[in-house]
Structure 1
Amino acid sequence: MELSFSGRMRQVPDYDLTRLGSRAFEQLVVALARQDIGPGVEVFGDGRDGGREATFEGTINWSKTSSGGQNELDQWSGYTVLQAKFHVKPGATPQNNAVWLQKQIKSELDGWIEAANEHKRSRLPDYLIFITNVDLSAVAKVGGIDTVNQAVQRWLTDKDTYSSGLRVKDFAIWHADQIRSMLDNNQGVRCAFPALLTAGDLLAQLAPEWVSLGSFDAQDPLRDQLLLAIKDDRWIRLSQSGGPGEAKLWLDDTAIDLPATISRHDGDDVVQAVKHVLRLGDTVLRQRQPDRVKRSNLVLVGGPGQGKSTLSQLIAQAYRVALLTGADPGPSVKEIIAGTRSALTRLKLPVPSNRRWPMRLDLAKYAEELSTGAETSLLRWISKRISERTDRTISPSSLRQWLRAWPWALILDGLDEVPSLDTRRLVYNKIDDLLTTAEDDDADLMIVVTTRPTGYDERFPADRFEHLQLQRLPSDDAANFAQQITDKRFNDDDEMRIKVAARMRAAAHDPLTIRLMESPLQVTIMSFIVEKYPTLPPDRFTLFKMYYDTMFDREVAKDIPVARFLSLYRTEIDRLHEQVGLTLQASSEAADGAEASISPQELHGIALSRLLARGFDSAEAEKQAAALVEAATHRLVLLGPRDEGVGFDIRTLQELMAALAIAEGDDAVVMGRLRLIAHHPHWRNTWLLAVGALLLRSERFEKGLLRLLKQLDTDPHRLNARYPTAPALAADILDDNLAVKRPHFELALIRSLLVTLDRPPVVDLPHLAAAILRTAGNPSYRRLVYDRIESAASAGAARRAASALVLEEMSAEVAPHDARLTTMLNSYKILKISDTEGQVLGAWDVLLERSSSPASTLTESDIHHRVWGSIRLFNDPDAAEFTLSAYLEKLVETVGLSDPDLHVLRAGLAALSGSRFHLTGPTPGTALPAALHVGSTEPLLHALENEDVATALDLALSTLPSTHWAIEALLGVAFKPSQNRQPVGPDVLRVVAEANAADNSYSD
């Protein structure tokens, strides 16, 4: 069945089972088997050879109309195994299909014989049912059905089978025609699989007043939405930056799939992100499906410019192409469909079998509406967006009907661009509300969310969301992607294409620059730079700064009238970009400005104020301000249109410009600004780029930055160094190659990074562990790292726990058979983690949902699964349970805090009453975390603004024995992310404005 945009369906003779895909076919088989055999059919699990199978224990009475048994009136009594054999591309003739199926069944039987001989399975089948999607000929004796049956009968009765002990009493083969017949008799099952739906099915599920919805005829708003969206998402946003001849970069020309890791209880899997998403999407995700997928939603986690949004575009385009198969859209859309199909083929990605309706949304824009106090559900927001784009009204209730009737792929891009913690929580709640609605309606919904890792502290629940951590682009993939970019940009200039391609290949394998080509954005920017500069930058700040300079110089070099203006007013244009970048970065810190933009009037005002402050008379300033705005928005095109205003199309360029504004001024003033933004995850990339600017300017900033890192975690309002920020900042500086060829500076940063091992980190643990692993990869520092880890063996439980946690995360970063695992295992053994400490670590790990089940005993081959060994369930009936709030209140009472201040602190700690722990063992005992639940942390943050209160809490925590580290960690997890996100944007704008005013004053 295929959709026709004339409002009709083009019928095929029978249900096309190949459209299901392998996993969905297995789900269909289970559903049909439960109808035909009975509800006792167990859903598919791992088979004898890693394949998938279902089982039934009991009696099966085959009826005359049944699909099983060699004899129609057979009765089977015993253990039955069902095995699905799905052929992606069935043969052209039934004979070809019969040959293929015989090979599949023979291989399966050989496996059972081997299992019987070697006693690999606890139980052998009494009966076998093979289910396949291929068509077999019914011609007597010589047709496919009879020949396969005869072959199977012969194999089951030969001497090898008999001598192995495999005794299969009977078997059945359900081929495509029988499956179709079973579907006709089980319409409810069929309607759960969209690939098998007809027009009548769809319209029957929709109320009469909504029949146009999903029909994709001229009256259907979904048709317009689909056609507009497929055109919108063809662009890669970087194309706004132009190239020779203003060449555009299309998604279908340059799209790539990226490697990602998925954390599982038995280790990390490495997958291709888009391929994994599409494979999940090809299954039926209705929650009442017998063989349902438990985690039917995904989060794509990746750093700046790592390609999250581009991947989300590619996923959406794949589903749009699937829905448009067989349609007859206009020429422009046909071109995009062909291009997308070509890209999917190039990437070895299938067009989705399960034709989900894709909806890709910008979460920042949704957050803006929520921040106004509007109680807007996601369904209402989607219906509003469709109605606005298509000029056809669609109500939330009709959209919910569509959700019931048809599978969805809801792609929510840019969670990291919702910086306000309160608004982020609202977004989480609204997504959870939609999932609840979908489950109640038994909808086939897949949600894909994208976010940066920095600041992603309130994670989606691991039982409903699978987390894909995007990995750095491998050097070979980076080189291939660079070739794609180069071929596209210089398709009419062979000489330049060859020259740039050679430079890009060299950069992709150079030890210094390879770290600057680990994301699609970096590779693309590098292609602009190597066009002009044969020598490449060693750090990310220089990379992006050279990109900006390259774009500027290209315009200046053109033989056009505006080139002279650009050259004369370069400083003013630079400052305009910097001030706009800082303004947008500050406004995007707040929920109502997450999608950062500035009106043309505001842009003009910034330029005008700058010129007036510099001493231009009002008439000249007005004239030149208009010219500056024109140059910034129409020549350099770094600022592009956004809603009713303009903004940076590339977020990192906004952060770069904000960084340059922050780095401008006297040393002490600049260091004060860096201190101001150092803790906030929204400003982290800006902070790092500003550091790059300073280090490029002078080596004197090395010592200043190191002093800043030492002082940063001495703030009593932040409980001093209990939850340090400096190690993560040191990791970022090292990771950005900013310490290359600066040995003293590098060593000092590494020592700051290793402060991570003083107490278990409550934020940024994966990032910190990855940085320590990379440091250990340098022979010059390997011994320093492992000596520091192993020294925890003679320290307290908190340091041992920190080292064990870091080792676990380090081990997750490497392949199962990596030689470095041996060193990690030896370090873990030296720590001598006791059984009780292991219980605490295991409970802590499960509490934070980094793992879903306990691990088995540690071995060298499975250290990447978990660092500590056997984790036993906590079972101490004599252990006392405490709430975190009550325990900390009692603890603080011992340090002599005044009654008014104590009252303020108690009010702040009340939010922690849902967090609990046990104290077990001899006094002072060991604290074992039991629950983590946090309400609003605003009262606690308010209390910590009082230095006496903060100091008292810090002193009280100092009285905890080392075995109570989990109490301190529970407190940190509760309030540290919120405290880090306290707004700093207004203060940043104020101090920069004051400094600029002073710089522009010549009254002295």
Structure 2
Amino acid sequence: MPDYDLTRLGSRAFEQLVVALARRDIGPGVAVFGDGRDGGREATFEGTINWSGTASGGQNELDQWSGYTVLQAKFHVKPGITPKNNAVWLQKQIRSELDGWIEAAEENKRSRLPDYLIFITNVDLSAVAKDGGIDTVNRAVRKWITDDDTVKSGLRVKDFAIWHADQIRSMLDTNQEVRCAFPALLTAGDLLAKLTPEWVSLGNFDAQDPLRDQLLLAIKDDRWIRLSQSGGPGEAKLWLDDTAIDLPATISKPEGDVAVQAVRHVLRLGDTVLRQRQPDRIKRSNLVLVGGPGQGKSTLSQLIAQAYRVALLTGADPGPSVKEVVDGTRSALARLRLPVPSNRRWPMRLDLAKYAEELSTGAETSLLRWISHRLTERTDRTISPNSLRQWLRAWPWALILDGLDEVPSLEARRLVYNKIDDLLTTAEDDDADLMIVVTTRPTGYDERFSAERFEHLELQRLPSDDAAAFAQQITDKRFTNDDEMRVKVAARMRAAAHDPLTIRLMQSPLQVTIMSFIVEKYPTLPPDRFTLFRMYYETMFDREIAKDIPVARFLSQYRTEIDRLHEQVGLTLQASSEAADGAEASISPQELHDIARSRLLDRGFSHFEAEKQAAALVEASTHRLVLLGPRDDGVGFDIRTLQELMAARAITEGDDSTVMRRLQLIAHHPHWRNTWLLAVGALLLRSERFEKSILRLLEQLDTDPHRLYARYPTAPALAADILEDNLAAKRPRFEKGLVGRVLGSLDRPPAVDLARLAAAFLSIASDPLYRRLVYDRIESAASAGSARRAASALLLEEMSAEVSPHDTRCTAMLNSYRVLKVPESEGQALAAWSRILESSILPVQYPDASELHFRIWSSIELPGDQGVESIGLDTYLQKLVEPVGLGEKDMQILKAGLDALSGSRIQLTGPSPGVALPDALRVGAAEPLLRALDNEDVATSLDLALGTLPSTHWTVEAMLGAAFKPSQNRRPVGPDILRFVAEANAADNSYPD
């Protein structure tokens, strides 16, 4: 009997194994595991078990059981050294379990008590007669189930069985198909049997295995954290294993948000078998990590990949340089109290922006083909997609897709979604053990992955204590050989981590790291994010100037030119990354040189001098400041926020009216959101006069007829972001104006930005100055019609998901909801619309909405089919516009645009006009509708028609906005902003003769 290492399975995979074996040994009637009283899991069987006919029979006094049997898994992560230790541990586990059943019997807590019990464990027990572990445990358990206290409690267990490790191994020998479904139990021979001769070395990780080469290269690549290459002060390098941290996250569930640690949660999921034909299958076997700029998404993806690489390289005896990384990663996992994965998934980490560039060329490249290309490029063997599919069938994968947010084109993102969905379909068909992890920013994440397949982890801000600990970690590493500086910087970082103002700038790993660079030089810390990154840039610049090197004088003399070069490059890259084919955001060395030379020529330098100094400027920017680093065949910013900072500085260069026009141009586009906020920070730092200008811009922003005026406003979310960025601190009048703009979102139900607005409402309501104002405004909707009530109810629902049920703010929300007095019919519309908001990628068909409910308030039952009129959204809107009197030609343009909504439907219930319930939202290409709105007469007529909607039909307007608004917001603005800036620069550099 082979000595299968059962501890490699992990507790959840062991439970899955037990279910599979029990179904084979006892029968298919074994029910899948369900949550137990203490978080453990149990399976049950109702019927007769004939032990003489099973692989595990012959051990009981009775050859046949008839009744209700409960199976309980007892997994020991680190079994004892001796069988005696294991027997003692198992006795304690069983005693605890029996005590739970006795308590349940006495207090009538369980609907049914077991007639029989089977305890299954991965520990080895001694078979020595009488004194061995098997006999000892059996005697103890029989005594417990037959003593008077047990019988008096009402628990009457007729018999029991114990399946220990040797018995499980024996069952595996007779059920090879079950064993082969669990990679931790596979042998090299198993892989040879599964793969074609072309790939006989695959998975052995020996010198002939191409995957070994890929692992060795990848584990070294991902040890590096990008920020260390950005020239931060301090000579120590920042390696992943020195500075990695796990981050808090929440998972949205119907009963409320669940707090987890992101990496721990991913690795725990990965330790289970995720084959979709597994009896105890996990439906949501994939994850999306959602986090803001610099919040650590990519670093987490690196850590996850490194953990799996370490697991695969265990025992592989790599060379010294790789062994150093393996040992360092093991130490980092131990420091974070994260286990090395038991399920040794093969990790592949890919940049989605590069994949999107490939798709944007029109190439029908599947993800498997793309992965095979990447492997072939990095190894000395050609790896075909077909061979890779064999590997997918044979071995579990962890496919990590980083940077969905860096795919800015809506069309390119939908292509990416489709290709990921295609791979999942292939994996299901092959019964592959595949886990996909995707990272993205929340801004612009409009077409969500299916909640049926993906679990969404929302990364949270670093708690102040964690930020302080991480700061200490960074400081200790950077100043290993300078005790005085280490103590000084550490003290300043501790103070910053507990200061109410600066802690807002230490809520992500990137911010903490940059802050450590700044406090090394400046004891006074920045009050906002723009100043934080500006000081980082200036700190790096000043550091180079202060060095006693020849180039320091050049840096000092040409500082303005170097600033402008970075700004122009930042703006150029930010604009080019708006398109799918430029998502990687890089420019060639020649383009960089041309930008520098053009700038010098505009400043009046001769052609010879401009050529000479341009080369020096490029050299200084790429080799001294190293904000611009190598990227494929060009250069780009290693830190995306610094690219956005430089773009913001370029946008804010010029007279006030010109700058405000530029801000208005990019305000709606999610790709430019961070740049927009950094530009606002730059203006507010420049002068207080911009407070009025920005408020005026927010007032005028949603007056464009082509955007249907203020029906789907952008200004409230922008105002919320300004508040969140701390840009209104110590500016009470400005702050009050922003709060007013945020509260304006209650005028109509938000079709977009609901989560961001809810977070802003929570933050504002936490301030005693505004708390009553917020809830009074919400409650005033009680008498303002269905649409206003819906807006308030939706925001309250979303706010409730962000706080603990025990939070005192929940009471205020619940009271406000009661004041709203939402009628049942309106509650049905809210429930249906909530489902639309939480749904998957468009287009989709939504399931029965009767499953919907508010998270904390009440379940909402939707009406049946009787008395319900179903109508297409496009038909409804066409009929709505007809009375407006739109000309026949324009009406045809509108109808062509509305065809995109032909798969979307609503249901009208109740007496006329009834309540409109969203039934399905299926959207084709939005461009025809956008072209229709480009016609001002069409757009104005549609707006007028929407103004005639009955208040109870607010979902019609909301569905229309959800259908076209994300695409409209993402219409490219990069070429226009580049042109406007270039024209202004040309005007500024022209002098009279």
TM-score normalised by structure 1 residue count: 0.97
- 1:779 paired to 2:768: yes
- 1:625 paired to 2:625: no
2:635 aligns to what?
646
1:705 aligns to what?
694
844-853 or 139-148, which moves further after superposition?
844-853
Shift of 1:934: 0.6
Distance in 2 separating the partners of 1:847 and 1:856: 13
Shift of 1:468: 0.1
- 1:279 paired to 2:268: yes
Counterpart AA for 1:760: P
1:718 aligns to what?
707
1:96 aligned to which of 70, 73, 85: 85
2:894 aligned to which of 905, 928, 934: 905
Question: Do the aligned partners of 2:22 and 2:30 also contact (CA within 8 Å) in 1?
Answer: yes
Shift of 1:218: 2.4
Once the two structures are superposed, what CA deviation does each residue of 1:462-509 show, in whole Å capped at 9, x if it has no partner? 010000000000000000000011011111100000000000000001
Once the two structures are superposed, what CA deviation does each residue of 1:608-663 show, in whole Å capped at 9, x if it has no partner? 00000110000011110000000100000000000000000000000000000000
- 1:166 paired to 2:155: yes
Where in structure 1 are there 5+ consecutive unaligned residues? 1-11, 859-864
Distance in 2 separating the partners of 1:682 and 1:36: 56
* Alignment CA distance shift 1:937-1:587 (3 Å): same
- 1:81 paired to 2:70: yes
1:263 aligned to which of 252, 266, 270: 252
Aligned partner of residue 492 in structure 1, secondary structure: coil
1:934 aligned to which of 920, 923, 926: 923
Distance in 2 separating the partners of 1:666 and 1:603: 26
Question: Do the aligned partners of 1:66 and 1:72 also contact (CA within 8 Å) in 2?
Answer: no
2:449 aligns to what?
460
Aligned partner of residue 374 in structure 2, secondary structure: helix
Shift of 1:572: 0.3
1:19 aligns to what?
8
Counterpart AA for 1:801: A
Counterpart AA for 1:767: R
Aligned partner of residue 581 in structure 1, secondary structure: helix
1:943 aligned to which of 898, 918, 932: 932
* Alignment CA distance shift 1:669-1:130 (3 Å): same
Question: Do the aligned partners of 2:652 and 2:659 also contact (CA within 8 Å) in 1?
Answer: yes
Aligned partner of residue 458 in structure 1, secondary structure: coil
1:122 aligns to what?
111
- 1:38 paired to 2:30: no
Question: Do the aligned partners of 1:611 and 1:621 also contact (CA within 8 Å) in 2?
Answer: yes
1:602 aligned to which of 571, 576, 591: 591
2:100 aligned to which of 111, 114, 118: 111
1:182 aligns to what?
171
* Alignment CA distance shift 1:256-1:855 (3 Å): farther
Question: Do the aligned partners of 1:856 and 1:869 also contact (CA within 8 Å) in 2?
Answer: no
Question: Do the aligned partners of 1:927 and 1:965 also contact (CA within 8 Å) in 2?
Answer: yes
Aligned partner of residue 246 in structure 2, secondary structure: coil
- 1:916 paired to 2:905: yes
Aligned partner of residue 894 in structure 1, secondary structure: helix
2:843 aligns to what?
none
Distance in 2 separating the partners of 1:379 and 1:135: 42
Distance in 2 separating the partners of 1:244 and 1:844: 51
- Spell out the pairing of 1:149-548 with structure 2 (5 A cutoff): 149-244=138-233, 246-548=235-537
Question: Do the aligned partners of 1:728 and 1:764 also contact (CA within 8 Å) in 2?
Answer: yes
Shift of 1:761: 0.9
Distance in 2 separating the partners of 1:423 and 1:517: 33
1:570 aligned to which of 556, 559, 562: 559
2:844 aligns to what?
none
Aligned partner of residue 52 in structure 2, secondary structure: coil
* Alignment CA distance shift 1:51-1:216 (3 Å): closer
Once the two structures are superposed, what CA deviation does each residue of 1:973-997 show, in whole Å capped at 9, x if it has no partner? 1000000000000001000000000
Distance in 2 separating the partners of 1:561 and 1:928: 72
Counterpart AA for 2:424: L
Aligned partner of residue 343 in structure 2, secondary structure: coil
1:52 aligned to which of 41, 45, 64: 41
Shift of 1:847: 2.5
Distance in 2 separating the partners of 1:334 and 1:344: 15
Question: Do the aligned partners of 1:846 and 1:853 also contact (CA within 8 Å) in 2?
Answer: no
Aligned partner of residue 751 in structure 2, secondary structure: coil
Shift of 1:242: 2.8
1:5 aligns to what?
none
Distance in 1 separating the partners of 2:927 and 2:101: 62
Distance in 2 separating the partners of 1:244 and 1:920: 66
1:750 aligns to what?
739
Distance in 2 separating the partners of 1:257 and 1:165: 47
Distance in 2 separating the partners of 1:68 and 1:747: 76
Distance in 1 separating the partners of 2:383 and 2:852: 56
Shift of 1:50: 3.6
Question: Do the aligned partners of 1:44 and 1:54 also contact (CA within 8 Å) in 2?
Answer: yes
Distance in 1 separating the partners of 2:246 and 2:421: 28
Aligned partner of residue 63 in structure 1, secondary structure: helix
Distance in 2 separating the partners of 1:198 and 1:870: 51
Question: Do the aligned partners of 1:60 and 1:76 also contact (CA within 8 Å) in 2?
Answer: yes
Distance in 2 separating the partners of 1:613 and 1:68: 90
Counterpart AA for 2:226: R
Question: Do the aligned partners of 1:576 and 1:607 also contact (CA within 8 Å) in 2?
Answer: yes
Where in structure 2 are there 5+ consecutive unaligned residues? 841-846
Counterpart AA for 1:681: P
Shift of 1:245: 5.2
Counterpart AA for 2:272: T
Question: Do the aligned partners of 2:652 and 2:679 also contact (CA within 8 Å) in 1?
Answer: yes
Distance in 2 separating the partners of 1:50 and 1:993: 63
Shift of 1:164: 1.4
Shift of 1:854: 8.2
Shift of 1:755: 1.2
Aligned partner of residue 306 in structure 2, secondary structure: helix
1:731 aligns to what?
720
Structure 1 stretches of 4+ moved >4 Å: 850-858
Question: Do the aligned partners of 1:48 and 1:121 also contact (CA within 8 Å) in 2?
Answer: no
* Alignment CA distance shift 1:32-1:857 (3 Å): closer
Question: Do the aligned partners of 2:545 and 2:553 also contact (CA within 8 Å) in 1?
Answer: yes
Counterpart AA for 1:282: D
Distance in 1 separating the partners of 2:551 and 2:416: 45
Question: Do the aligned partners of 2:275 and 2:432 also contact (CA within 8 Å) in 1?
Answer: yes
Distance in 2 separating the partners of 1:681 and 1:912: 23
Distance in 2 separating the partners of 1:529 and 1:550: 7
Aligned partner of residue 78 in structure 1, secondary structure: strand
Question: Do the aligned partners of 1:833 and 1:868 also contact (CA within 8 Å) in 2?
Answer: no
Cα root mean square deviation, aligned: 1.4
Shift of 1:217: 2.5
Question: Do the aligned partners of 2:234 and 2:479 also contact (CA within 8 Å) in 1?
Answer: no
1:8 aligns to what?
none
Counterpart AA for 1:357: W
Shift of 1:212: 2.2
Distance in 2 separating the partners of 1:184 and 1:331: 39
Shift of 1:250: 0.1
Question: Do the aligned partners of 1:64 and 1:72 also contact (CA within 8 Å) in 2?
Answer: no
Distance in 2 separating the partners of 1:189 and 1:885: 52
Question: Do the aligned partners of 1:135 and 1:177 also contact (CA within 8 Å) in 2?
Answer: yes
- 1:817 paired to 2:803: no
647-656 or 877-886, which moves further after superposition?
877-886
Question: Do the aligned partners of 2:894 and 2:938 also contact (CA within 8 Å) in 1?
Answer: yes
Aligned partner of residue 89 in structure 2, secondary structure: helix
Shift of 1:207: 1.3
Once the two structures are superposed, what CA deviation does each residue of 1:359-400 show, in whole Å capped at 9, x if it has no partner? 000000000000000000000000000111123210000000
Counterpart AA for 1:301: V
Distance in 2 separating the partners of 1:803 and 1:98: 59
* Alignment CA distance shift 1:528-1:354 (3 Å): same
Question: Do the aligned partners of 1:206 and 1:401 also contact (CA within 8 Å) in 2?
Answer: yes
Distance in 2 separating the partners of 1:857 and 1:379: 37
- Spell out the pairing of 1:580-595 with structure 2 (5 A cutoff): 580-595=569-584
